[in-house]
Amino acid sequence: MTNNKKGFTLIELLVVIAIIGLLSTLAVASLTRANAKARDTKRLADVGTVRTALEMYYSDQNSYPVAITTGVNLEEDGVFYVKVPTAPAPDGDCTVTDNTYVYEPVEVLPAGSGVYSSYKLTYCLGGDAGSVLKGVNTASPRGMTE
């Protein structure tokens, strides 16, 4: 008598399911890291864009602006410079409070002149990105980190 039953055994099915589960777990972990890197890349691009707009503003106005607000256009005398971006969702060591773009003008002497010769733009990265380390960083006219 011959056994002509065709199909998979329970052990074969369990092995295949275990392999698929392992591969799925690895894929999700890789995507999570890729998403975090993408958010940091967006933060760096946003800060670079704002820095460029601030330099154009300074070139036209001979002063940096008094304030900028995320989600609002930076414009003066009918000239549009940039719509100040909003930071992506926080990750890594960045808290919700750290994860905003904070602009602070630096006034030049004489005090009270209203002329701002520099600025600080604070932002937070969830992980290292090239020469910029994770955590809270400050951009200025001199560069992306101080």
Render pLDDT for 17-46 as a digit per residue (tens, 0 to 9). Answer: 999 999 999 998 888 888 889 999 999 999
What does the mean pLDDT of the chain come to? Answer: 90
Domain spans in the chain, listed from the N-terminal domain onward: 10-139
146 — pLDDT class (breaks 50, 70, 90): low
Residue 76 confidence class, pLDDT cut points 50, 70, 90: very high
User: CA-CA distance, 69 to 102, in Å (whole number)?
Assistant: 8
Residue 142: which pLDDT band, with cuts at 50, 70 and 90?
very high
The span from the CA of 136 to the CA of 145, in Å, is 10
pTM: 0.80
Residue 21: what pLDDT?
94
